[in-house]
Amino acid sequence: MSQLYEGMFLLDNDVVRAGWNAAKHHVTDLVTKHGGKVVSARRWSERKLAYPVRGRRRGTFLLMYYELPRTGIPPFVRDLDLSESLLRYLLLRCEALPEGEAALAAQESAADYSAPVPPSDEAGIYAVVQNGIVEAPSDRAIEPEIIPELEGAGVHSSPAGRD
């Protein structure tokens, strides 16, 4: 008897840079290897992590819904533990596939889909504020401000709040 599960997998960006489809299939193949069936799998997000995991400051999240028999769970978890391209994973039992999930996964499986290349580990700023998460865009470059009166002396000051 198969049960529907939700899995969130944090993938190493070095593996994702080599090819998103290969990184995704690395996880989905483990499900099929243990007698399961992938219902939907998609790139959930690429973001700055709240704390470094195995020295990585950014990571790509794969959200997958899959069916797996109960006997397939322990070997599946063992394979996940042994996988070096996975930084973290979270497996939850799920009653039904959430609305809109199938459509989002179908967008990714389209022939013309290409996943964006993850930025370097230093890009972006992680900050939790009172009313939500604020993450600076990855292309935001912080230029040093030049004080006019000191310009001749070549003195630069860091932008406000970035000391």
Binding residues for another protein, per CB under 8 A?
A: 8, 10, 44, 47, 49-51, 53, 59, 61, 63, 87-88, 90, 128-133
Angle, to 10 degrees, between the axis of helix 20-33 and the axis of helix 73-82?
Answer: 150
Q: Beta strand pairing status for 2-11 and 56-69? A: antiparallel
Q: Which one, 35 or 101, has the nearer CB to another protein?
A: 101
Rounded least distance, CB 49 to another protein, Å = 4
Nearer to another protein, 84 or 112 (CB): 84
Residue 53 C-beta: closest distance to another protein, Å: 5
Cα(120)–Cα(58) distance, integer angstroms: 8
Which pair of structure tokens corresponds to residue 42? 């998609």
> Which of these, 70, 60, 65, lies nearest to 12 by C-alpha position?
60
Nearer to another protein, 53 or 115 (CB): 53
Q: Nearer Cβ to another protein, position 35 or 49?
A: 49
Q: In what order do the strands lie in the sheet with 86-93?
A: 37-53, 56-69, 2-11, 86-93
Q: Least Å distance between CB 90 and another protein?
A: 6
Complex with another protein: residue 135 or 151, whichever CB lies closer: 135
* Least CB distance to another protein at residue 133 (A): 5
CB of 47 to another protein, least distance (A): 8
From the DSSP assignment, how many helices (H) and strands (E) are in the chain?
Answer: 4, 8
